[in-house]
Amino acid sequence: MGPAPLKNVPCAKGAICYCLDQFSRGRGARSRIIKLRDAIMKLAPNYAGLSQAFDEYLVAYVFPDKERRQRISAYLDTYWFVSGVPTTYFPTTPVARIYAEGVLETLELSLKGSGRPVPINSWWVLDADDFKMLNLANLKDGVTVGGDVTLLIMTPRPEKSGRAVPPWILGVEAEAYVTERQGRSVTTRRVRDL
């Protein structure tokens, strides 16, 4: 998640989504996922300190620059996770709890892979009717199978915004396309180009 994208941008892959994708792959992924899961679980039931847990057990793996990580944590606290702050995007929603429990479900599904954890593919999808976390995975006999575990962070479009600048999608592998009606025709556009 990052600053709210412009109106014509339907989804984004901000720092947390990108970090979840990256840290769930390769050597040591199981250990990293378990450490993040355990750190988030310790914050229950209100999940105060969620941005710090993400910083220490997730973001630091992908972005070693301390100053960049501090900006990410401050942004998450200001606009997402700290209740009662006038700058928060969704002031009447228990965002930290919904977010934490949605990520925990994602991590558990990833850990249910046979052998290695199943890689995570996460996206922020805007214009939902309410704030919710949606997990998608294929399971067979309690084992997660298939190419990845998908996490969709589905939210209404924030009315307030931090600095809304491209890129909407971090990383070189992630791509998103939007197919929609425009006037009398149907078009498909690459989100990176919006």
User: Per-residue pLDDT tens for 80-138?
Assistant: 999 878 888 898 999 999 999 999 999 999 999 988 999 999 999 999 999 999 999 99
Q: Write down the H helix ranges in 24-131.
A: 29-41, 50-54, 60-62, 66-76, 95-111
The type of residue at 63 is F
Q: For residue 110, give the 3-state DSSP assignment.
A: helix
Give just the sign of the alpha carbon dihedral 151, 4, 189, 184.
positive
The type of residue at 125 is V
CA distance linking residue 76 with residue 95, whole number of Å: 11
CA distance linking residue 85 with residue 78, whole number of Å: 7
| pLDDT one-digit tens code per residue, 28-86 | 999 999 999 999 999 999 999 999 999 999 999 999 999 999 999 999 999 999 987 88
Residues 88 and 45 sit within 8 Å (Cβ to Cβ): no
Higher pLDDT, 22 or 176: 22
pTM: 0.90
Number of Cα atoms under 13 Å in the Cβ half of residue 126: 21
